[in-house]
Structure 1
Amino acid sequence: MPSALTAPAELFAAYFLPNPLKHGRFKGWKGTKKIVETLEGQPVTVAMLEKHLGVGKFLPSALGYLPGTFDGTLSGAVDMDAKDYPSVEALAAAKERLLAECAALNVEVYPERSSSGRGCHVWLFTDDLVTYRDMRAALRFFVNRAALPASTEVFPKGDDAASNWLIMPYHGALWQNGGRLGATYLETTDGEAIPVDELDEWITRNPASVVRNLAALEGQRTTAGTSSGSSGEGALALVNALARAALQKAPSARHDAAAAFLNVAHRAEQLEAMLTALGGEDVHAVWCADGSRDLDEWRDEIARWAEHIEEGKSDRQRGFPYLKEQGFDLSAVPLPSTAKTAESPEEPWGERQSLPPVRPSAPTMPPDMVPASIRAWLLDLAELTCVPLECVAASAIAAFSGLLGRTVVLKPERFTSWRVVPNLWYAVVAPPGSMKTFLYGEPTRFLKVLEERARQAFEDAKLEAEVEAEALKFEEAQLKKGKSFSREKLLDLKRRAQTLDVTCKRYYVNDATPEKLGELLNENPRGFVVLKDELAAFIDQLKREDQATARGFYLSAWDGNEGYTFDRIQRGTIRIPATCLSIIGAIQEGPLQKFVNDSRSGSAGDQGMLQRFQLLVWPDNLGEWKRPTRRGNEAAFDAVLRVAEVIDRWYPPSEDGPHVLTFDEEARGLFEAWRDTLEVRTRGGDEELRRAGSFASHLGKYRSLVPSLALVFHALEHAERNARLDDVPPVSADALELALNWAEFLEVHARKVYAAELGLSFAGVRALAEKIKAGAVKDGMDTYTLRRKDWQLLQGSLFDEALDGLVSLGWARRVEVETGGRPREVFRLHPDLREGGEA
């Protein structure tokens, strides 16, 4: 061994120690031919080694490496020659296959960067001497797995210390390129250059047992120079050992365990042998002792699993780790041990970052966003009840939109026939016990006053109609008895009787079937408000397959322009020229997130129902509780009630249908510019929306939200002035600007709702963090096993999103470890979170 080397040269010698008696020498190329290539019959001296590295001065001649000594070798290499491939691209693809096969068994190899481009060496290093034949067989195992050409050479080529040699890398490393790399050098499998003075920091020596066991799988293992037997004996020994292990017990998950046994054998190209072993009577007697499968059924079943594994269709590609979890003792199975050795220390962990909020914050509505005509009342209401202003304001606006209904519509564009009915759907997201009924109920108080007045008027009219009907019956009887009977008089009485039908004017309903709503809309074509205490149950019911008719009815009612016809045996035919409903209600966070997930997945029955709640608010909290110390401002409410009475008198506008308003010129230009921007965003111009289809669909509904809000605000302003409907001017730019401010405000709240789709939700991250703190997740657990636990907020892909979130925050890492098949991924926790640490 050379002595008195410089530090980089000493590192180099530790990995590329030449044969103690001989070495190779290479002086260069002439065209495509080597001009000097000899095997020198003398040891490498210190001077020769340092000249190879270019210590002090570059030496054109490169040294040749004879891998190993008389006792064995610490290294080997695959020589991929350019002449064996039709193109440089084909060689590069073959190299990638080889590296992938090595990575699959967690075997560390290092490709050599070639300056000539004529080929590639891939090096493997071990932590202890192995025989030349074992090294060669192990490398051949990977060559065969990667389907490299049969002419591919592996080194050492012979079984002694004087076999063929390879040119050593790092030629001129301490003279060229700043003194680190040289003409050729090693890389990581990711293409990272490894400087000669950093070899110890980059190179991992594989356990010698790995090479020996890989050699056994190749069927060519030798021990102390004696052949182990015929080709394939090592792989068959693996199958026999696995079969013996299978007899130990009946696994709790029979399907998964059988797939794991088969997958391990498949990696060793012994799937058929393993299938035969598992299909034996002895294994069947142990695994199917419960009598659930007879022998033939058992064999048919595992044959299907083997077919799936062979075709790559199986979703249970696990091996050794899973079988160990099932309680099988695999210590006698001769499969490569590919776990990291102690020589590969865990990378340092940084400081953990704090967990972010579950979801983004949503602002509270400033008072100047509330229309002036109802501002004093709503500010008073929000203060007395200690709730955010937006909760009562949005509910009140939805109530006024229902009061307007089809009284007046807005034609927002000049060149289309599009008409917007201002009926709006409102939902507030609030936790249990947060006075949800009050949040949406109290702001609709003016509707309840009008409803009660209408009910009293109906009762009076109904009584008068009943008295008049009795009078008409009496007159008809007298007419038929008397001598003055005439057909014309009887027809007049019948016509007068038909006019006696009275209907109750409705402003809101609480609970009604779609068919009953159809009857009420037939009697109240303006429309009205539907109050829903629990929107979750309402939306969930509409998603059912047997509720397709109800779902279609409500979708029509949201639009406000579409007619609908009910044909029923008992009720007969009910025709509604245009269905128009506003909906006001509340929902809790849990059901809401379920609906959001359903919307994201496009589940059957969804049809954008959630997105139709355009007035959707989710306050961060209800605020600080303060016991009321005064009465409510009844004068402010009376002013709001007067506004509602004016709007109520506007209906019906005329026999020709709803009164039509347009934007004034300033408002129209403002609206057209806004809509152009919205359409560009929702039609692919916004990268964020391209990734968030449900949120994009929600914003798409804003094209009717904005003109609806503008019309409601405009109506409130002129109703406060006691204007007649015919005197209401076109919708102003002021009303539209306020509507645009509302749209911007509501979008922020919608982002909170769709935070998971937008990548802004950390609910899953926090849920997984809580599992760690509770001890349900421990360091080193299999991610596949954790994923199958199906915890709330961590189902399916949500688990991976949460895990990636914790990784980005420095709480955890994904690490691949040994497996009998595909690499097994485990969950490594930050040292602070492991046993004895603090969460």
Structure 2
Amino acid sequence: MSDKITPQLVLDKAIDHCTAITGGGFPISLYPSKIQRIIREVNDCYGFPVDYVAAAMLAAVSVAIGNTHLARMKEGWDESAILYMALIGRPGANKSHPLSFAMRPFVEHDYEQNRIYEKQYLEYLEQLEMSRKERAEKGIEVCPREPVRRRFLVSDITPEGLSLVHSQNRRGLCLLSDELSAWVKNFNRYNNGSEEQFWLSVFSAKPTMSDRKSSRNSIFIKRPFISVIGTMQKRILSELAKGERSANGFIDRILFVLLRHEKSTRWSMKQPTFDVAAEWQCILSRLMELECAVDQNNDIMPVSIPFSDEAMSRLFEWQHKLSDICDCEPNETLVGIYCKLQIYAIRFCLIIQMARWACNDAGKDMIDLISVERAISLAEYFKESAVKVQTILKELSLTAQQLAIVSALPQEFETGGGIAVAMENGMAERTFMEFLKNNLGKLFQKSSHGKYIKL
């Protein structure tokens, strides 16, 4: 199946090759031409890096889908479109503007809904001041109900507060944070370790329950949907690996977006040839306006989309090959990341199929082979990004002496050559051999007896 060359696959490869030439690595071919056109236009006119804007749009589509649709693998196994994503780059890398652009339709929606809520809340307060007789005379409910604020976005919020907002917006939410490091740093602000466990659970859409001190009732969410996206500087990446986050799989759940070549943005005199914001609003609104069915208990009833036979075969083939890689991979951290990518690949299939539907490029009654092939390309992109992040994290943990030795070592070296470089930098032979041993599969790979490759 994977050896079958289709015209669409050839076209996708050509599109991504052109993107790579301009410095982008994100496979924008996964998007319909309407979205590709927007990505190129904002890159050309506003200088938004392709990877950042394309990834932010992926997260936006995820949020717009929410709990309305799931990808059906088999009976009892459905995957939602939940994503945890971080746009990584140095200060001035132009991370925030692409994120703001992609999320603007939600901001506009939430702003309008807040205006409606404020008006309804004032009316609610007025009704509370009335007597039962006055309410009856005016045709108002005897016991007025407090209005609910409809929304898609949240920012700095505790798990307890988030559970309350989610219970009022069961379709789904997005935690949007311009500085994602603040999200991680707040994990132990109130309860040691509990917030981290909350996010581990939400990622898998496991039922969540929150007991509020101010109420005798518990908030129970049968199928949570909370995507997370934000920006982060490279030097703060180490915050993500603190404590148990590397061991408990938390960091494995984050999709990292890094530029291949970081350059300061050059202002452009070019004007957009069409209204990119309106075009993006139109596409995303089609997803945002999807009906979300509920049962008699007001619980969400998502639509499960199955895979076509050939699409399922291709996805299983890719998963088996990645599992073979995991079986031979000495770095347990990377194994954990690759395993999470297998789950993400299913979610990518759903997001890509729904994005194609929103652009009238495909239906949404079945996930087809095109969506699977594109999801695999996207999973491979994030696989490469994960390896880069692990290298950065390791470098951030190195001493100045260790970093100098790693930098001075050639791409391929023998034990004797490595010892010589270490001694030139003041490190004893025994210390270097221990350093080499402890970093196999992380910084170095053994190619044969006495020979190494720098990763």
* TM-score, L = length of structure 2: 0.76
| 1:576-595 alignment runs, 5 A limit | 576-593=221-238, 595=240
> For residues 440 and 811 of structure 1, what CA distance do their matches in structure 2 show?
47
> For residues 649 and 515 of structure 1, what CA distance do their matches in structure 2 show?
28
Structure 1 367/464 Cα, relative in aligned 2: closer, same or farther at 3 Å?
A: same
By relative contact order (CA 8 Å, sep 6+), the higher-ranking structure is 2
| 1:352-363 alignment runs, 5 A limit | none
The alpha carbon displacement at 1:539 in A equals: 2.1
Corresponding position: 1:399 with 2:60: yes
Aligned to 2:376: 740
The alpha carbon displacement at 1:508 in A equals: 0.7
The alpha carbon displacement at 1:619 in A equals: 0.8
| 1:596-611 alignment runs, 5 A limit | 596=241, 598=242, 603=244, 607-611=248-252
> For residues 750 and 823 of structure 1, what CA distance do their matches in structure 2 show?
32
Aligned to 1:717: 356
The alpha carbon displacement at 1:610 in A equals: 1.7
Corresponding position: 1:812 with 2:421: yes
Aligned to 2:315: 671
Structure 1 799/546 Cα, relative in aligned 2: closer, same or farther at 3 Å?
A: farther
> For residues 719 and 737 of structure 1, what CA distance do their matches in structure 2 show?
19
Count of residue pairs brought into register by the alignment? 399
> For residues 474 and 375 of structure 1, what CA distance do their matches in structure 2 show?
60
1:417 pairs, out of 68, 76, 80, with: 76
> For residues 631 and 367 of structure 1, what CA distance do their matches in structure 2 show?
22
The alpha carbon displacement at 1:587 in A equals: 1.4
2:192 aligns to what SS in structure 1? helix
Corresponding position: 1:643 with 2:283: yes
Corresponding position: 1:386 with 2:26: no
Aligned to 1:564: 208
The alpha carbon displacement at 1:643 in A equals: 2.2
Structure 1 669/475 Cα, relative in aligned 2: closer, same or farther at 3 Å?
A: same
Aligned to 1:754: 390
Query: Are 1:388 and 1:623, in contact at CA under 8 Å, matched by a contact in 2?
Result: no
Aligned to 1:692: 331
Structure 1 612/813 Cα, relative in aligned 2: closer, same or farther at 3 Å?
A: closer
1:701 aligns to what SS in structure 2? helix
The alpha carbon displacement at 1:436 in A equals: 3.2
Corresponding position: 1:680 with 2:324: yes
Structure 1 477/524 Cα, relative in aligned 2: closer, same or farther at 3 Å?
A: closer
1:658 pairs, out of 302, 307, 314, with: 302
1:457 aligns to what SS in structure 2? helix
Unaligned 5+ residue runs, structure 1? 1-361, 480-491, 765-791, 816-821, 828-839
The alpha carbon displacement at 1:535 in A equals: 2.0
2:176 aligns to what SS in structure 1? strand
2:95 pairs, out of 436, 445, 453, with: 436
Q: Which deviations, in whole Å up to 9, do the C-alpha atoms of 1:25-69 show, x marking residues without a partner?
A: xxxxxxxxxxxxxxxxxxxxxxxxxxxxxxxxxxxxxxxxxxxxx
Aligned to 2:399: 794
The alpha carbon displacement at 1:663 in A equals: 0.8
Query: Are 2:69 and 2:304, in contact at CA under 8 Å, matched by a contact in 1?
Result: yes
The alpha carbon displacement at 1:393 in A equals: 0.6
> For residues 162 and 98 of structure 2, what CA distance do their matches in structure 1 show?
24
Query: Are 1:400 and 1:644, in contact at CA under 8 Å, matched by a contact in 2?
Result: yes
Q: Which deviations, in whole Å up to 9, do the C-alpha atoms of 1:345-371 show, x marking residues without a partner?
A: xxxxxxxxxxxxxxxxx9523543433
Q: Which deviations, in whole Å up to 9, do the C-alpha atoms of 1:270-322 show, x marking residues without a partner?
A: xxxxxxxxxxxxxxxxxxxxxxxxxxxxxxxxxxxxxxxxxxxxxxxxxxxxx
The alpha carbon displacement at 1:611 in A equals: 1.5
1:419 aligns to what SS in structure 2? strand
Letter in 2 for 1:746: F
1:447 aligns to what SS in structure 2? helix
Aligned to 1:427: 86
Structure 1 364/694 Cα, relative in aligned 2: closer, same or farther at 3 Å?
A: same
Query: Are 1:543 and 1:605, in contact at CA under 8 Å, matched by a contact in 2?
Result: no
Letter in 2 for 1:647: L
Aligned to 2:259: 619
Identity %: 19
> For residues 617 and 826 of structure 1, what CA distance do their matches in structure 2 show?
33
> For residues 431 and 158 of structure 2, what CA distance do their matches in structure 1 show?
53
Corresponding position: 1:550 with 2:195: yes
Structure 1 440/826 Cα, relative in aligned 2: closer, same or farther at 3 Å?
A: closer
1:704 pairs, out of 343, 354, 364, with: 343
2:280 aligns to what SS in structure 1? helix
Query: Relative to structure 2, which stretch is displaced further, 537-546 or 441-450?
Result: 537-546
The alpha carbon displacement at 1:627 in A equals: 1.5
Aligned to 2:438: none
Query: Are 1:451 and 1:508, in contact at CA under 8 Å, matched by a contact in 2?
Result: yes
> For residues 800 and 626 of structure 1, what CA distance do their matches in structure 2 show?
35
1:611 aligns to what SS in structure 2? helix
1:428 aligns to what SS in structure 2? strand
> For residues 273 and 110 of structure 2, what CA distance do their matches in structure 1 show?
22
Aligned to 1:134: none
Query: Are 2:341 and 2:379, in contact at CA under 8 Å, matched by a contact in 1?
Result: yes
2:220 aligns to what SS in structure 1? strand
Query: Are 2:95 and 2:231, in contact at CA under 8 Å, matched by a contact in 1?
Result: yes
The alpha carbon displacement at 1:701 in A equals: 0.7
Aligned to 1:261: none
CA-based RMSD of the aligned residues comes to 3.6
> For residues 431 and 826 of structure 1, what CA distance do their matches in structure 2 show?
31
Letter in 1 for 2:253: R
Letter in 2 for 1:455: N
> For residues 150 and 263 of structure 2, what CA distance do their matches in structure 1 show?
38
Structure 1 549/825 Cα, relative in aligned 2: closer, same or farther at 3 Å?
A: closer
The alpha carbon displacement at 1:638 in A equals: 1.8
| 1:313-352 alignment runs, 5 A limit | none
Structure 1 478/741 Cα, relative in aligned 2: closer, same or farther at 3 Å?
A: closer
Q: Which deviations, in whole Å up to 9, do the C-alpha atoms of 1:383-409 show, x marking residues without a partner?
A: 233243111111111122012111111
Letter in 2 for 1:403: A
